[in-house]
Amino acid sequence: MRKRSKPTESSATGSSGNSAASLTRGLDILRAFTPDDATLGNQELIDRTGLAGATVSRLTATLVNLGYLHYDAVLGRYSIGAATVALGYSALSSNPIIHIARPLMQELADRTGAAVALGACDGLEMVYLANCRSMSPVTLQLNVGSRVPMARTAMGLAYLTGLDEERRGALVAALKQADARRSERFVTDLDQALRDQAQFGFVTAFGSWHSYINAVGVTFHPTDGSPAVALTCGGIVDILPEDRCRKVVGPRLVALVEQMRERLAGGEGSRIDKAR
């Protein structure tokens, strides 16, 4: 399991008794859990957060008492608690963008035989807020809460193309520093994504995350003031060859976003039908 890019304890501002610093570190512990983690031990939490062992022990005890973590005394390991689940469920349930997007996403997934996802930025990664799959036996097995690298996926590239130059520049610098060996390829991919976004309204990623996966991505800026999100349609190369991504999936994804915008504004809209 990779270690996420997190500030170390020494880089945090304030003393250990500072409530803001403690809150930040506590959230870092919760963020250390991924959808693939049923439980984590102290050492795994230390490795993933960069926090000192004593700090992890103190904060996990507090999180257990508040219900945000559950501690299994037999295994000596932690799992996400009911309070954290309730908080995440409340956030997703109250998000109008997800409510509007899900039926449209499912329709596109069924028509393409691929997976359609909606995600938001979290650090240098994109996190899934919604995901719809077709009935195809071969599809991407990612779920709500899954994380994908911003620099190597259509979701991440689409998100970056939708930012203003200042915000994009700061993220690009951080991404290049986090993976210096791949920085040249990343810059090339982003430049192409910016050109594609300007010309076609969508970006593509062919084998940049996994060699057998192709995907198309678009940015959506909600008119209600919510943060920008990215939507993708992706699958194995046999289902989504490059030509189909460009000529079929890309235009349909753009039309889906247009319909989302209309529905969020209160209209019905049916532009997605024009791309079928």
The answer to whether the beta carbons of residues 217 and 205 sit under 8 Å apart is yes
Rg of the chain taking only CA atoms, in angstroms? 20
pLDDT, tens digit, for every residue of 102-115?
A: 999 999 999 999 99
**Strand (E) or helix (H) holding 171:** helix 165-178
Nearest to residue 118, comparing CAs of 151, 96, 87, 85? 96
Banded model confidence at residue 137, pLDDT cuts 50, 70, 90: low
Average pLDDT over residues 17-43: 84
pLDDT at residue 274 above 90? no
Number of domains, the chain: 2
Predicted confidence (pLDDT) at residue 124 exceeds the cutoff of 90: yes
DSSP state letters, 96-118: HHHHHHHHHHHHHHHHHTSEEEE
Same domain, 140 and 115: yes
Digit-coded pLDDT (tens) for 211-269: 999 999 999 998 777 789 999 999 999 999 999 999 999 999 999 999 998 888 875 44
Q: In terms of C-beta distances under 8 Å and separation of at least 24 residues, what long-range contacts does 19-26 make, across chains too?
A: 22/59, 25/49, 25/51, 25/55, 25/59, 26/59, 26/62, 26/63, 26/68
Dihedral (C-alpha) 177, 182, 188, 192: value to the nearest 10 degrees? -90
Give the domain extent around 259. 95-275
pLDDT at site 215? 96
The answer to whether residues 181 and 252 belong to one domain is yes
* pLDDT value at residue 267: 55
- Closest Cα partner for 100 from 118, 88, 82, 115? 118
* Residue 10 backbone phi and psi in degrees, to 5: -65, -20
pLDDT > 50? residue 99: yes
Instruction: Identify whether residues 268 and 154 lie together within a single domain.
Output: yes
Beta strands in 11-140 (DSSP E): 69-72, 77-80, 115-122, 125-133
Give percent above pLDDT 70 in the chain.
Answer: 86
Claim to verify: residue 155 and residue 49 sit in the same structural domain: no
Residues 207 and 99 in one domain: yes
In angstroms, rounded to a whole number, what is the distance separating the alpha carbons of residues 145 and 35? 6
- What percentage of the chain exceeds 90 in pLDDT? 59
Question: Encoding tokens for residue 47?
Answer: 């490795």
Residue 58 sits in the same domain as residue 151: no
Residue 196 — pLDDT band, cuts 50, 70, 90? very high
User: Given 83, 104, 127, which residue is the final one in a domain?
Assistant: 83
**Structural domain includes residue 38:** yes
**Do both 154 and 60 map to the same domain?**
no
Residue range 158-171: mean pLDDT, rounded:
95
Mean model confidence pLDDT for the chain = 85
The answer to whether residues 78 and 127 belong to one domain is no
- How confident is the model at residue 144, as a pLDDT? 84
Whether residue 1 is contained in a domain is answered as no
More confident residue, 168 or 81: 168
Write down the pTM of the prediction: 0.74
Beta-bridge mates of residue 80: 69
Domain boundary among 49, 83, 117: 83
